[in-house]
């Protein structure tokens, strides 16, 4: 089969290669992949500037949905034809305190599909059956390819942040992650203000369509004025920072009320500078998030199944796998929103 392979460490070193089609070993299933999303971290694997362990040569891609086409020895509860998505934490130690508390996303031994194990920019992949979640019939494979990023979001927004129906939330960074985060906050009854910049004009429009109470282009309108009016000068209850831009951190903290809650979802990719003393003076509760857990996958799937979160409107392009390079470039230039690759056309 033809697959997108990171074949050596170092910048670039990625190409479509002919690789052996995998088969399901004991405890594993083989999945026929329908679509695979391009994630920011795929770009980082491409550039070799990511802190998560990568083991080349490896088939990349980890945000996917498909159908079981082979069941390995000893697997129970799954059969050929089942529609599924799979967690990406392929192996972890199972005995460290993080693992034993259910936070295997933080296991130092965690090794990931598409980084360490052959992933999903390919027509087939093999995963441990223990990582599967079943997909409701009415969720399309394209929509379901966004389950993995949505599970990271439900982990951050539901499991690590408290959002109450009366809360006013400031969300910065209306990319596909931001717009899914918006919908999760809305599902909890919050009033959400979405902030972006000139490059986000179209995304801000979509944020409004998806239910944001207000959208603000911070290059055209002073965010502080909008929020002061909305909160009678008290500040917002929660900040969900999805842009990973340095400036958004301090302006987010300044936007918060005393004892407000700040969650960092976007990654910066470099050390940043901001006034951390704001955390003292306002007694802010600050948290960050990494990856996803079993429970956050179930929450993501439930939100999609109920229609509370719609990932369909976040998909802007469906591109043949053979055009991966121009798709990666589009993603990097922030063209479009969520880009899916079709592994059947490589």
Least separation in angstroms between residue 134's CB and Zn ion is: 20
Cβ closest to Zn ion, residue 96 vs residue 286: 96
Least separation in angstroms between residue 234's CB and Zn ion is: 36
Least separation in angstroms between residue 107's CB and Zn ion is: 3
Measured distance CA(109)–CA(112) in Å, rounded: 10
Least separation in angstroms between residue 109's CB and Zn ion is: 5
Question: Phi and psi dihedrals of 278, rounded to 5?
Answer: -55, -30
Alpha helix positions (H), 155-237: 176-187, 201-209, 223-231
Rounded (10°) CA dihedral 241, 52, 93, 292: 30
Cβ closest to Zn ion, residue 17 vs residue 111: 111
Cβ closest to Zn ion, residue 29 vs residue 107: 107
Cβ closest to Zn ion, residue 108 vs residue 189: 108
* Contact status, residue 144 vs residue 114, Cβ threshold 8 Å: no
Secondary structure (3-state) at 262: strand
Measured distance CA(110)–CA(165) in Å, rounded: 35
Cβ closest to Zn ion, residue 193 vs residue 331: 331
Cβ closest to Zn ion, residue 135 vs residue 145: 145
In angstroms, how far apart are the furthest CA atoms of the chain? 63
Measured distance CA(262)–CA(239) in Å, rounded: 5
Measured distance CA(293)–CA(271) in Å, rounded: 26
Cβ closest to Zn ion, residue 150 vs residue 226: 150
Measured distance CA(107)–CA(53) in Å, rounded: 12
Least separation in angstroms between residue 103's CB and Zn ion is: 9
* Binding-site ranges for Zn ion (CB under 5 A): 39, 92-93, 96, 99, 107
Listed as own residue / partner, the contacts of 8-12 with beta carbons closer than 8 Å and 24 or more positions apart are 8/56, 8/57, 9/48, 9/54, 9/56, 10/48, 11/46, 11/47, 11/48, 11/49, 12/46, 12/47
Query: H or E segment at 194?
Result: strand 191-196
Cβ closest to Zn ion, residue 208 vs residue 317: 317
Least separation in angstroms between residue 87's CB and Zn ion is: 12
Least separation in angstroms between residue 125's CB and Zn ion is: 15
Least separation in angstroms between residue 95's CB and Zn ion is: 6
Closest alpha carbon to 97 in 111, 112, 109, 113: 109
């Amino acid at each position: 089969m033809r697959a997108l392979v990171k074949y050596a460490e170092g910048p670039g070193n990625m190409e479509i290669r002919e690789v052996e089609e995998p088969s399901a070993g004991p405890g594993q299933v083989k999945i026929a992949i329908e679509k695979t999303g391009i994630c920011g971290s795929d770009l980082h694997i491409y550039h070799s500037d990511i802190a998560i362990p990568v083991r080349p040569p490896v088939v990349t891609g980890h945000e996917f949905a498909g159908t079981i086409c082979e069941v390995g020895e000893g697997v129970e509860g799954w059969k050929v034809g089942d529609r599924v998505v799979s967690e990406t934490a392929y192996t972890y130690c199972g005995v460290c305190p993080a693992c034993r508390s259910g936070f295997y996303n933080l296991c130092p031994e965690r090794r990931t599909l598409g980084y360490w194990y052959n992933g999903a920019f390919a027509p087939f992949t093999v995963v441990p059956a223990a990582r599967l979640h079943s997909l409701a019939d009415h969720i399309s494979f394209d929509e379901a390819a966004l389950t993995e990023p949505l599970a990271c979001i439900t982990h951050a927004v539901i499991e690590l942040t408290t959002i109450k129906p009366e809360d006013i939330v400031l969300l910065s960074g209306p990319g596909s992650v931001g717009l899914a985060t918006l919908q999760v906050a809305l599902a909890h009854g919050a009033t959400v203000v979405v902030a972006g910049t000139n490059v986000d004009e179209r995304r801000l429009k979509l944020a409004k369509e998806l239910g944001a109470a207000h959208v603000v282009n911070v290059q055209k309108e002073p965010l502080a004025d909008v929020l002061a009016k909305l909160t009678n000068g008290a500040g917002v209850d929660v900040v969900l920072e999805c842009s990973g831009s340095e400036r958004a951190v301090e302006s987010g903290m300044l936007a918060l009320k005393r004892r407000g809650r700040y969650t960092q979802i976007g990654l910066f990719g470099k050390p940043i500078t901001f006034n951390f003393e704001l955390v003292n003076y306002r007694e802010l509760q600050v948290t960050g998030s990494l990856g996803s857990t079993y429970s956050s996958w179930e929450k993501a799937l439930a939100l999609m199944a109920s229609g509370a979160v719609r990932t369909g409107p976040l998909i802007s392009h469906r591109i043949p796998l053979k055009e991966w390079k121009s798709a990666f470039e589009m993603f990097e230039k922030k063209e479009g929103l969520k880009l899916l690759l079709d592994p059947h056309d490589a």
